[in-house]
Amino acid sequence: MLEEKVKSALDGVRPSLQADGGDVEFVSVSEDGQVSVKLTGACGHCPMAAMTLKNGIESYLKKEIPEVTAVVGV
């Protein structure tokens, strides 16, 4: 159930990333709410990727899904 919520929420941030030539792929979600994602395309090599991950994707997912505790890149 949590996995489906996360995948759906990621669809909400995907257009912003795609506008800059990047994307995000869902990898997994742990029982304690840690979401693993992979930034691809331009986002995979961007020097601002860590900021995008924490200030963008993580903030959005935590707001949309209270069970999410953290987002990490793999």
pLDDT (tens, 9 = 90+) of the chain, 74 residues, equals 999 999 999 999 999 999 989 999 999 999 999 999 999 999 888 888 889 999 999 999 999 999 999 999 99
Task: Say how far apart CA 71 and CA 46 lie, in whole Å.
Answer: 17
Looking at residue 27, its pLDDT comes to 97
Residue 70 CB partners (closer than 8 Å, separation 6+):
33, 34, 35, 58
What local confidence, expressed as pLDDT, does residue 9 receive? 96
Nearest Cα residue to 44 out of 25, 71, 27, 59? 25
Q: What is the layout of strands, in order, in the sheet containing 70-73?
A: 22-29, 34-41, 70-73
Tokens of 9: 């929420």
